[in-house]
């Protein structure tokens, strides 16, 4: 095992981000259909040359647009622009508006309009705007208008989750995950444009999910709700490993909210933000910590029973970033201790030192479960974004 680096070092964090970019670049470029290849084996071999998921397309754009600025790699802006072109010309529905969930090359495979995916559309355009790709200010504004007209529920001050292609059939399901990523996207849009409406909306979403709805769910973030935003305690209880909507409380989402709340507080200080950020973080670690093998389990039920004991890469990434944010914000050394402990676990088990990037998921005792390192949707956006946020916490990035 490689010796531990200095996880607090700007040099280490930037190097880790470069290695993530280098794993995918230039292999990810789909020059036949446009966009990016979505699925990779551990060694980087492309195992699916047709599937193009909206989440992959937009996350790749975010990664490359951010790399263009932070890593000072101009070619990364070109790779991001390549993805923006596919997003606008292929994922975008020319008849009804909005963006298709899944493409097979340039053909529609799933035309559902998901709020979760549209949150990443806004994030991608905001990141592309930050790196100077032309026309992105208009795209950010257009996406805001689309979200207002199609997904926003003013009576609930939250976004609907899933709608048919023609916008006529709205799913009864409501979820916090889409609204969490919409908060992330709104913060990015505010940073890119300076327009206060994005910050206002981020604050509204954070308050609704982390305070008001949490009050009915043991004061922390529950995942699933009914059409009226009442807690649905049983949704996907028989499918705890569902890719986008797993059952139960997700500690990784609690710490991801901690990270987002601390970003929000930078721009919009509120008395409730820090206490709730700490509560979410502390609850997440208390419920998920694996005292035998290390790391964090994935999910637990309302009675505290663990449902998915596996170790997911993104949970550790988001918690590491949250720990750095709390350490900087509170000045408490114990959060830096969490930061180092989770980095060390990830360094030993989740990071692939042979080929690069992070394994997606491990068994409870740390064994790899598949040789597919990056299925559609992954793109190592979580470790890349976590390093970016840690650099911002350390004052080494904007």
Residue owning tokens 């622009």: 81
Structure confidence by residue, pLDDT tens digits, 281-333: 999 999 999 999 999 999 999 999 999 999 999 999 999 999 999 999 999 99
Q: Indicate the CATH number of 10-393 among 1.10.287.130, 3.40.50.920, 1.10.357.10, 1.50.10.10.
A: 1.50.10.10
pTM of the shown model: 0.98
pLDDT of residue 114: 98
Q: Given the residues 53, 91, 253, 316, select the one marked as catalytic.
A: 253
pLDDT for 244 equals 83
**In the annotation, is 382 catalytic?**
yes
- 290-300 residue pLDDT tens: 999 999 999 99
What are 216-261's pLDDT values in tens digits? 999 999 999 999 999 999 999 998 888 889 999 999 999 999 999 9
Q: Which residues pair with 338 in a beta bridge?
A: none
Hey, where are the domains in the chain? 10-393
Please answer whether residues 51 and 376 qualify as being in contact, where contact means their C-beta atoms are separated by less than 8 angstroms. Answer: yes
Determine the Cα–Cα distance for residues 203 and 193; give it in Å rounded to an integer.
Answer: 17
Confidence of residue 397 (pLDDT cuts 50, 70, 90): confident
- What count of Cα atoms within 13 Å lies in the side-chain half-sphere of residue 375? 7
- Provide the 3-class DSSP secondary structure of residue 351: strand
Do the beta carbons of residue 66 and residue 14 sit within 8 Å?
no
DSSP-derived secondary structure for 63-114: HHHHHHHHS--HHHHHHHHHHHHHIIIIIB-TTT-SB-SEEETTEEEE--EE
253 assigned to active site: yes
Contact 277, 261 (CB under 8 A): yes
Q: Dihedral sign, CA of 141, 68, 116, 213?
A: negative
**Residue 316 belongs to what H/E stretch?**
helix 313-330
């Amino acid at each position: 095992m490689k010796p531990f680096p200095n996880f607090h070092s700007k040099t280490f964090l930037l190097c880790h981000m470069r290695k993530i970019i280098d794993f995918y670049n230039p292999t990810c470029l789909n020059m036949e259909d446009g966009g990016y290849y979505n699925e990779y084996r551990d060694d980087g071999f492309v195992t699916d040359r047709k599937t193009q998921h909206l989440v992959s397309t937009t996350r790749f754009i975010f990664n490359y647009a951010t790399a263009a600025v932070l890593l000072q790699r101009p070619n990364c802006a070109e790779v991001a622009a390549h993805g923006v072109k596919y997003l606008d010309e292929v994922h975008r529905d020319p008849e009804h508006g909005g963006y298709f969930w899944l493409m097979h090359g340039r053909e529609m495979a799933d035309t559902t309009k998901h709020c979760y995916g549209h949150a990443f559309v806004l994030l991608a355009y905001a990141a592309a705007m930050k790196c100077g790709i032309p026309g992105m200010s208009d795209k950010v504004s257009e996406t805001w208008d689309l979200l207002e007209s199609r997904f926003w529920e003013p009576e609930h001050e939250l976004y609907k989750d899933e709608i048919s292609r023609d916008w006529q059939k709205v799913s009864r399901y409501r979820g916090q995950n889409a609204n969490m990523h919409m908060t992330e996207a709104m913060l990015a849009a505010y940073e890119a444009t300076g327009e206060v409406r994005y910050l206002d909306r981020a604050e509204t979403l954070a308050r609704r999910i982390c305070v008001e709805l949490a009050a009915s769910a043991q004061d922390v973030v529950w995942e699933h709700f009914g059409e009226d935003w009442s807690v649905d305690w049983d949704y996907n209880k028989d499918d705890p490993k569902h890719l986008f909507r797993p059952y139960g409380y997700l500690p990784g989402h609690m710490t991801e909210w901690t990270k987002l709340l601390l970003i929000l507080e930078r721009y919009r200080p509120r008395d409730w933000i820090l206490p709730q950020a700490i509560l979410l973080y502390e609850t997440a670690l208390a419920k998920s910590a694996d005292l035998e093998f290390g790391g964090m389990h994935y999910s637990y039920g309302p009675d505290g029973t663990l449902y998915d004991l596996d170790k997911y890469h993104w949970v550790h990434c988001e918690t590491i970033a949250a720990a750095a944010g709390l350490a900087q914000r509170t000045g408490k050394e114990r959060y830096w201790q969490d930061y180092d402990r989770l980095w060390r676990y990830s360094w030993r088990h989740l990071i692939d030192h042979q080929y690069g990037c992070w394994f997606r998921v491990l068994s409870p005792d740390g064994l790899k479960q598949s040789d597919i390192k990056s299925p559609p949707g992954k793109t190592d956006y979580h470790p890349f974004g976590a390093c970016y946020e840690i650099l911002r916490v350390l004052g080494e990035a904007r």
